[in-house]
Amino acid sequence: MDYQFLKVSCGENGVVTMTISSPATLNALNSTILGEIDTFIHTLDPNQVRVLVITGEGKSFVAGADISEMAHLSEKEGLAFGHRGSQVFKRIEDLPFPVIAAVNGFALGGGCELAMACDIRIASAKARFGQPEVGLGIIPGFSGTYRLPKLVGQGIAKELIYTGKMIGADEALRIGLVNQVVAPEELAGAVDALVNAILKNAPIAVGFAKACINENYDLDVDESIALENRYFAKCFATDDQKEGMDAFLHKRPAVFKNE
């Protein structure tokens, strides 16, 4: 499918890369781009895709939502815009396979929120993060007040959101917002290394692990443990579990078939 603002590439072994491509606006998210991302997400076949990588073209991952579109929204229109972005990001978070954000530059506002909807974030040393919405008279609208405290804790999240300040990649790593920081020229290689490490493992088990972690977000300890037990048990109904353990016992490489 052809997109106006997305570039999609499908590599070997079920690895798909989605690049947001509107460099003139630093990849700012407008309704059209959100719609294209939503359409793209719905085209992904869980039986074919093993890992999704999301990045941005140029010097920005996503510099935020499109202020020119938001400037004159009514309260009702603001609700619809926030709901649209939040729903798209929730669909990304709920994808049954790992999603990696390759953060090549600015990840501000909606861009930071998009990165947080991914499972893992690898950042270029030139990346910059922040939730600057309060300086525009609004608050984060694409679930930033929900995901940021989950990742970095309430105190740091409140500081970042109340001040609207921008932080560098090293600070983002220190507070737990990103998993890894690399030199800009090493970003693609670092993402490839992570993808390859994931691909070595049983696809169903990786998907179950993601589902279990995501569904544990707001459960109490007993519910969380029971949920993990259920997903753990489901692994034993797969051929991949039998293959993985047989390979371990016979000291040979496992060949997983996503079955």
- Report the pLDDT value the prediction gives residue 217, as an integer from 0 to 100: 81
Q: Which CATH number belongs to the domain containing residue 233 in this structure? A: 1.10.12.10
47-61 residue pLDDT tens? 999 999 999 999 999
Which structure tokens are listed for 166?
């921008």
Asked if residue 195 and residue 208 are part of one domain, the reply reads no
Q: Is the per-residue pLDDT at 210 higher than 80?
A: yes
Q: Is the per-residue pLDDT at 228 higher than 80?
A: no
Full-prediction pTM beyond 0.75? Answer: yes
Domain range for 228? 203-249
Residue 113 a catalytic site member: yes
Confidence bin at 216 (pLDDT 50/70/90): confident
Residue 133 a catalytic site member: yes
Identified catalytic residue from 12, 69, 133, 185: 133
Asked if residue 207 and residue 185 are part of one domain, the reply reads no
Q: Which CATH number belongs to the domain containing residue 58 in this structure? A: 3.90.226.10
DSSP labels for 144-202? HHHHHHHHH-HHHHHHHHHH--EEEHHHHHHHTS-SEEE-GGGHHHHHHHHHHHHHTS-
Instruction: Report how far residue 109's alpha carbon sits from residue 190's, in angstroms, rounded to the nearest whole number.
Output: 25
Which structure tokens are listed for 68?
């020119």
Confidence bin at 70 (pLDDT 50/70/90): confident
Q: How many domains does the chain contain in total? A: 2
Instruction: Report how far residue 159's alpha carbon sits from residue 177's, in angstroms, rounded to the nearest whole number.
Output: 14
Identified catalytic residue from 75, 113, 159, 215: 113
114-154 residue pLDDT tens? 999 999 999 999 999 999 999 998 999 999 999 999 999 99
Which structure tokens are listed for 222?
């007993």
